Chain A
Amino acid sequence: MLTKLEKKILASIQGDIPITERPYLEIAEQLGISEDTFLKNLKDLCDRGVIRRFGATIRHQKSGFKANAMVAWKVDEKRIIEVGKKMASFREVSHCYRRNPNGDWPYNLYTMIHARDEEACRKTARKISEAASVNTYLLLFSREELKKTSMQYFPHED
Chain B
Amino acid sequence: MPPMDGIDREILNRIQSNFPVTPRPYLSIADDLGLSENDVLKRVIRLKNERIIRRIGGNFVPDKLGFVSTLCAARVPEDKIEEFAGEVNRYPGVTHNYRRDNEFNVWFTFIAPSMEEILENLEKISQKTGITDIINLPATDVFKIKAHFDL
Contacts and interface: CB of A to CB of B under 8 A. Distances in A.
Interface of A: 2, 10, 13-17, 19-25, 35, 39, 42-43, 45-46, 48-60, 62-65, 70, 80-81, 84-85, 87-88, 91, 93-100, 102-103, 105, 110, 114, 138, 140-153, 155
Contacts of A56: 12, 15-16, 19, 44, 53-56
Contact of A55 (B19, B45, B61, B93): B19
Interface size class of B (residues with CB under 8 A): 35 or more
Contacts of A39: 21-23
B26 A58 contact: no
Contact residues of B: prevailing secondary structure: mixed
A147 B96 contact: yes
Interface of B: 1-2, 4, 12, 15-19, 21-27, 37, 41, 44-45, 48, 50-62, 64-67, 71, 73, 85, 88-89, 92-102, 104, 106-108, 111, 135-151
A54 B71 contact: no
A110 B71 contact: yes
Contact residues of A: prevailing secondary structure: mixed
Nearest to A94: B146
A35 B23 CA distance: 8
B141 A150 contact: no
B86 to A, nearest CB: 9
Contacts of B89: 146-147
Given A87-B143, A98-B141, A147-B97, A22 B149 contact: no
- Most B-side CB within 10 Å, residue of A70, A97, A151: A151
A54 B60 CA distance: 9
Name the 6 nearest CB pairs between A and B, nearest first.
Answer: A88-B144, A98-B141, A55-B19, A147-B97, A146-B97, A88-B143
A21 B71 contact: no
Contact of A142 (B17, B61, B100): B100
A55 B41 contact: no
Contacts of B148: 53
A150 B95 contact: yes
B99 A142 contact: yes
B140 A21 contact: no
B82 to A, nearest CB: 9
B135 A102 contact: yes
